[in-house]
Amino acid sequence: MTSTPASTHASMPSGQRSPNASPPVSPPAIELRGISRAFGPVQANREIDLSVMPGTIHGIIGENGAGKSTLVSILYGFYQADEGEILIDGRRVDIHDSQAAIAAGIGMVFQHFKLVENFTVLENIILGSEKGALLRPVLAKARRELMDIEREYELEAPPDAKIEDLSIGQRQRVEILKALYRQARVLILDEPTGVLTPAEADRLFAILRRLRSEGKTIILITHKLREIMEVTDTVSVMRQGRMLATVATAATDIEELAERMVGRKVSLQIDKPCACLGDTLLEVENLHIETGTETPASPLAGIDFSLRAGEILGIAGVAGNGQSELLEVLAGYRRAKGSVRIKGCEVALSGSGIDAGSRRAAGLAHIPEDRQGVGLVMGFSVEENAILGYHRSFGYGTGALMDRSAIRSEAKRHITQFDIRPPDPGRAARDFSGGNQQKIVVAREIGAEPDILLIGQPTRGVDIGAIEFIHRRIIALRDAGKAILLVSVELEEILSLADRIMVMFGGRIMGERPAKETDERELGLLMAGVV
Amino acid sequence: MSELAADLIPVLDSTLRLSTPLLLACLAGLFSERAGVFDLGLEGKMLAAAFFSAAVAFLTDSVWTGLAAGVLASVVLALLHGLASISFRGNQLISGIAINFLAVGMTAMIARSWFGLGGHTPALEGGSRFDALHLPFEGIVAQVPLVGPLYAELISGHTILVYLSLALVPMTWWIFYRTRLGLRLRAAGEAPDAVETAGISVVGLRYIAVILCGVLCGLAGAYMATGLHAGFVNEMTAGRGFIALAALIFAKWRPWAALWSCLLFGFLQALSLRPDLFERHFSIHLQLQLLDALPYILTVVILAGFVGKAIPPKACGVPYVKGGAG
């Protein structure tokens, strides 16, 4: 086994041959030579070299903006490389559009599925590869072929079900079947586990291993280091548009990969002192959302919990099980029935009395899940976003006029305290990276010095350096005696931050565990609704 | 009772004739919007087709040449819409509205310059108009009670474009639900990124849809000037393109439902021509203006959403940018 090369630009073949000791006679299933691509002044990919041997699972990791998406788009013909060449099974191919990529044997499973939701599984699978102009014979033939593929790879999907009725995991299997139906030999998956439960992710990995045993080559693009360690044979790290190193997975570990990815040492373990519990600040009893006029996607069916000063209560669960609705009710922009007490005072949950402003006045702040839609006005500058929702209470000006210089100095304070980059208070929120957008929101809500902080998906789409930073701030807030309710679909995040963990499923609390006494396995079962 | 039935047949007969331009335009909109291109310019395309079909039919004395000219004019405007909204990813609403204005001004101006009749074409006659087709055995079957008058007066005796528009309903259904092209068109209107990743050109599909839309609008306009009426009059489409859009929403973008909703609108238009019927049979005196307004009132009611939820194709109106969202 090779040890990981310390410098950049590792020469690929030497790092490649080690896994599984497979016979190195055949050419790489896919090989990139010197791929570069610029968008205006931004060099998204710089001289990327990569070679992946057939029948292996290769991981590519990198932070947001490292150039992974660009590379994927080049491989699938959405963009053309400025320079460099792509070889499939040793033959040079010109991938000028998706059709060419499919013809070259490349199949792609995108992070956001490319499925027509009101079409059936079978219709989605044949779309674009219909063998004939009339649908009936085409569908009948495809049905038989699909059954063969399903048998061969032990994968199944109900052919006549509409996509909109399928679970996320099933939709992903349809995407994989689509690629196999097009006879893909190289399957590329972009952030495939972002939306899956741990059980579904395990199932996906089993499918990938099965595909590997059938000789398929798999490229897994992710920022989740744990997955890389679990399922890949070899792994490459991307940073700032470059492919840094390719190593055998067995010869490295999570810490080392994280360090390479970020370019400095990062601590993934969060050290936190024991919680010193204070008064109960938030009490929730028998919370329901009425179905009817404004039917929510997932209704709440009787939620009870309480939250004390100085603790982080984590709410785990697969997205869409009522967590979002719970946050919206507590933050004051969704009606509900039941009882919520903030610092002992009952708050209105329905009627005209509910609004987010009065919740803020009561000492409750909210970092929304959807930062681009709810947390920020994307076209506003950092300054304007810095006072959003607090524009009345902070004394930013008198009456109808705003005091620009006071607002600017507040925004500058946020920028320095939260390391928002680039440090330009006049720049529009949409021109920042996901991590920095999140910092703008976090800075505002923490800056308001709330007693209770609701946090939804604090690190979704945020790169690892910013994750570390945001986690530290959350812990610091807890240690300052604030009460924190943390909703996240990332189990690791919940496990490392929370003191207590509740799991939501189907609008109910499935169970509560002290964070120290539980693990991913137990929580994963609760998340799937198994008690 | 039989008196009412006897009076009803002519009303249904004109329902059929008045529904025809609506149905053709509605199917035109269906092709375009099912593929993801919103089209407010149905009206303008119909108007341009009406003018050019009448003008060319008059000049050449051939209704078929006129029809071809009308369809061509409509397709040219459709391509303009395609260029603006597909190739240059402009705002589809604005492009559609611009085409309507363009058509109103252009037809009036050219009409004046060519014919000098204050914006209309000379009246068409003979070979420059579509004649009614008389179906076989009309005379014999007419003797049969009940069925006879229905066949002879209602079903028989329309121009070929009326029959064509009716035949286009099952054809459209068949194309959308039984052919590869239909599957792809529907996908382009629902999830264009799925189409592009499947290796098919969204731009190409949307151009096909827009051109088909132009052809159908062309038939609709030509029918108005050379079938329903005898010549072009300024702004003769009178909002029919918009009524067709309302009918399309009412039909929830489905071909058969489009037929029924266009027949409903056509029926209301036919009724407004016969206020005497209400007096005679129901002894109600209705204001003529109220009857005239009925189709437009129904349009408002439909667009205000009183007829249930109509969900348009998901990507309709959204310009497609390749590899965009990610």
Set out the domains of chain A in order of their start, with CATH numbers: 30-262 (3.40.50.300), 280-363+450-527 (3.40.50.300)
Sign of CA dihedral B269, B270, B276, B277: negative
Taking the CA atoms of residue B270, residue B271, residue B273 and residue B276 in that order, the dihedral angle to the nearest 10 degrees is 150
Gap from A351 CA to chain B (nearest CA, Å) = 26
Q: Is B136 helix (H, G, I), strand (E, B) or coil?
A: coil
How many C-beta neighbours within 10 Å does residue A135 have? 20
CA distance B166 to B255: 11
The alpha carbon dihedral of A484, A487, A493, A496 has a sign of positive
Q: How many CB atoms lie within 10 A of CB B20?
A: 26
Can you name the residues that pair with A502 across neighbouring β-strands? Answer: A315, A512
Residues A335, A449: Cα–Cα separation, whole Å: 26
Each residue's pLDDT tens digit, B201-211: 999 999 999 99
Sign (positive/negative) of CA torsion A408, A414, A416, A419?
Answer: negative
B residues 300-319 closer than 8 Å to A (CB): 314
Cβ–Cβ contact A181 with B under 8 A: no
pLDDT in tens, A331-359: 988 888 899 999 989 988 887 767 888 89
Domain segments of chain B as ranges:
20-237
Alpha-carbon span A513 to A323, nearest angstrom: 17
A114 and B314: CB-CB below 8 Å?
Answer: no
Angle between helices A168-181 and A135-153 (to 10 degrees): 100
The reply to whether B97 touches chain A by the CB within 8 Å rule is no
Q: Which of B190, B196, B198 sits opposite A117 (nearest CB)?
A: B190
Can you say how many angstroms the Cα of residue A234 is from the centroid of all Cα atoms in its chain? 22
Q: How far apart are CA B201 and CA A115, in angstroms?
A: 16
pLDDT in tens, A455-491: 998 887 777 778 888 898 999 999 999 999 999 988 8
Nearest by Cα to A492 from A285, A306, A258, A263? A258
531 residues of chain A, pLDDT tens digit each? 334 444 434 344 444 444 454 555 689 999 999 999 988 777 889 999 999 999 999 999 987 778 888 898 899 998 899 999 999 999 999 999 899 999 999 999 988 899 999 999 999 999 999 989 999 999 999 999 999 999 988 888 899 999 988 888 899 999 999 999 999 999 999 988 877 777 788 899 999 999 999 999 999 998 788 889 999 999 999 988 899 888 999 999 888 888 888 777 766 666 777 778 889 999 999 998 865 544 445 678 889 999 999 999 999 988 778 888 899 999 988 888 899 999 989 988 887 767 888 898 889 999 998 888 889 999 999 999 998 888 876 565 666 778 888 889 989 999 998 888 888 899 999 888 778 889 999 999 998 889 999 999 888 777 777 888 889 899 999 999 999 999 998 888 899 899 999 999 888 899 999 998 888 888 888 888 776
Q: B284: burial class by Cβ within 10 Å (0-12, 13-18, 19+)?
A: exposed
- Whether A69 sits inside 8 A of B325 (CB atoms) is no
Rounded Cα distance between B155 and B132, Å, is: 11
Q: What ranges in B83-201 are assigned the alpha helix state H? A: 92-115, 138-141, 147-149, 160-178, 180-190, 192-197
CB contact under 8 A, B180 and A133: yes
Min CA distance, A115 vs chain B (Å)? 5
Distance from CA of B183 to the nearest CA of A (A): 7
Could you give the angle at the alpha carbon of A504 between the alpha carbons of A503 and A510, nearest 5°? 65
CB pairs under 8 A between A and B: 81
Contact status of A78 with chain B (Cβ, < 8 Å): yes
**B68-123 pLDDT tens trace:** 999 999 999 999 999 999 999 999 999 999 999 999 999 999 999 999 888 889 99
Using an 8 Å Cβ cutoff, are A365 and A453 in contact? Answer: yes
Is residue A441 within 8 A of residue A368, CB to CB? The reply is yes
| Cα three-residue angle A255-A256-A260, rounded to 5 degrees | 115
d(CA A372, CA A429) in angstroms, rounded, equals 9
How far, in Å, CA of A70 to CA of A379, rounded? 25
Per CB-CB distance under 8 Å, the chain A contacts of B178 are: 134-136
Q: What is the pTM of this model?
A: 0.80
Record: contact B180-A134, CB cut-off 8 A: yes
Does B187 contact A at CB distance below 8 Å?
Answer: yes
Q: In this predicted structure, what is the pLDDT of residue A15?
A: 40
Kindly determine whether residue A127 and residue B190, on different chains, have CB atoms separated by under 8 Å.
Answer: no
- Cross-chain CB nearest to B199 (options A102, A118, A119): A102
